[in-house]
Structure 1
């Protein structure tokens, strides 16, 4: 940090297991990636190339190498996994991961209907080769999954080999964990936390109000995902109580 302030909450340091920030790259240019890393690299734990943007991204290998050189892992969004699976191309997906030398993969079923045992089979298979992040929740705002199913699926996916589970919200933060207004489904989150360890969950929270809510519930070192590149530093100030929304929250602590 550039100077000293008292009563700043303690933050974990990289490589982190908690206090994890997953950034979403929805099509940054190589130059933008370099600038992004220069300004925010210390606060980025992993980057998701959103949904299937990698299919159309120019200079994809070069982009991945820039992140890799900075010590920041990259993975393809879960929608790309689903696009391969729905076309009966899972083996091609595995070859793709190997071709790009990716060490992380996301398994999701937010856009397709996938038997949960089958999903866990994909997790088990991939976890032998890479670190798996599995996503729970639907991208369909009309599909409301009851809390007991979230808990059951998260537990089974962790048991199948997922390193962490991701609570679905999409890039807009209006499905899954949230109502279409962006409001947190508070009862759902609190019930999940009675059964699933918080360090095993990454909460997708693209909106500032959502980030504030999770920080106030679970502290500075909550795992958050789907953070836009230009929101990484603002999020870090929220985590440290240096923005109006969390300004008073850590002073007494």
Structure 2
């Protein structure tokens, strides 16, 4: 840090087991990736190349090297995994991971119907090759998964070999964990946390209000994902209580809320 401030929440340090920030690269150029890591490398734990953008990204190996040289792991978005699975190309996907020297992979079923036992089998097989992140939740806003099933799916995927599970929200933060308006399904989150340790979950939370909500609930070291590159530094200030949204929170002071409507509805 550039200077000293007392009474800041303690942040975990890299390599972190929790307190993760997962940034989403939706098609940065090599120059943009270089600029990004020059300012944010200390605050980014892993980068996801969103959905299947890696398929059309030019100079992919060169961009991956930018992140690798900065000490930031990268993985392909789960939709790319699904694109291979629906075409019966799982072995090709495994070879792809080796070709690009990937150490992480995401297993998801947000866009396809995939038997859960089969999904867990993919997790187990891939966990012998790379570190697996598995995503739970649908990209279909009309598909509502009850809390007990979220818990069951998450636990089974952790048992199958996933290092962490990701709560689906898409890059817009308007499905899965959230309503179409971006409001947190707070009852769902609270129920998940009764069974799944918070450090094992990465909550996709691309919107600032969502990030604030999770930080106030779980503290500065909650795992958050789908963070836009330009929002990484702002997020770190929210984690540290150095932005208005959490400025008083970590000092044990809260403003009186004169607005009778809560920022997020309760299930």
TM over 0.5, yes or no?
yes
Q: For 2:217 and 2:172, how far apart are their aligned partners in 1? A: 21
Which residue does 1:91 correspond to in 2?
A: 91
Query: Which range moves more in the overlay, 104-113 or 4-13?
Result: 4-13
Which residue does 1:251 correspond to in 2?
A: 251
Note the alpha carbon deviations across 1:84-124, whole angstroms, 9 max, x for none.
Answer: 00000000000000000000000000000000000000000
Which residue does 1:124 correspond to in 2?
A: 124
Q: For 1:95 and 1:199, how far apart are their aligned partners in 2? A: 30
Deviation at 1:252, TM superposition (A): 2.5
Corresponding residue SS for 2:142: coil
CA RMSD of aligned residues (A): 0.6
Q: For 1:245 and 1:66, how far apart are their aligned partners in 2? A: 33
Q: For 2:168 and 2:11, how far apart are their aligned partners in 1? A: 25
Question: Within the alignment, does 1:144 sit opposite 2:144 as a pair?
Answer: yes
Q: For 2:152 and 2:172, how far apart are their aligned partners in 1? A: 25
Which residue does 1:160 correspond to in 2?
A: 160
Which residue does 2:207 correspond to in 1?
A: 207
Q: Which runs of 4+ in 1 moved over 2 A?
A: none
Deviation at 1:6, TM superposition (A): 1.1
How many residues of Structure 1 are paired with residues of Structure 2 in the alignment? 253
Question: Within the alignment, does 1:101 sit opposite 2:101 as a pair?
Answer: yes
Which residue does 1:63 correspond to in 2?
A: 63
Q: For 2:108 and 2:241, how far apart are their aligned partners in 1? A: 33
Which residue does 2:195 correspond to in 1?
A: 195
Which residue does 1:234 correspond to in 2?
A: 234
Unpaired runs of 5+ residues, structure 1, are: none
Unpaired runs of 5+ residues, structure 2, are: 254-267
Corresponding residue SS for 1:245: coil
